[in-house]
Amino acid sequence: MAAQPAAQSTPAYVDMNQPDPAPLKLDGLNGKVEGLGGDAMPRVAVSLFAEDDHHLLATTMSDRDGKFHFDKVAHGLYRVVATVEGLCPANIPVRIESKLLHARLVITMRPKDLDTCSYGMAKK
């Protein structure tokens, strides 16, 4: 599971979901990080954690176009956590499945609100 080098410190598992959403079904782990207006967000730390014990598997940074990619993620359940200073972290449960889905993960970063935080959606 190769990913680009990220920040020097080890990313921490963070979960502010209320309640936890159902896992998004994806065929691989690539996508884009954007702000509420849809603008690309570069330099967002995107980390992949195991679902069962939340240990860190890989991490990368979104590029100047907000895009990120993890290579060769095996089928199964994971958590994608996206963090950037000043915004609410996103914690997205994902299920990597069949190559027939052709969906990518779009993470929308937003300020912390009373009942909402940053989130992710599967888009074709």
Confidence band (pLDDT; 50, 70, 90) for 6? very low
Count of CB atoms situated within 10 Å of the CB of 124: 6
Confidence band (pLDDT; 50, 70, 90) for 115? low
Contact of 109 with 84, CB cutoff 8 Å: yes
Q: Where are the domains positioned within the chain?
A: 24-123
Query: Which value, to the nearest 10 degrees, does the dihedral of the CA atoms of residues 48, 52, 53, 58 take?
Result: -20
Instruction: Tell me what the mean pLDDT of segment 28-42 comes to.
Output: 94
> pLDDT tens-digit profile of 51-104?
999 999 999 999 999 999 999 899 999 999 999 988 999 999 999 987 766 788
Contact of 27 with 100, CB cutoff 8 Å: yes
Q: Does CATH place domain 24-123 in 2.60.40.1120?
A: yes
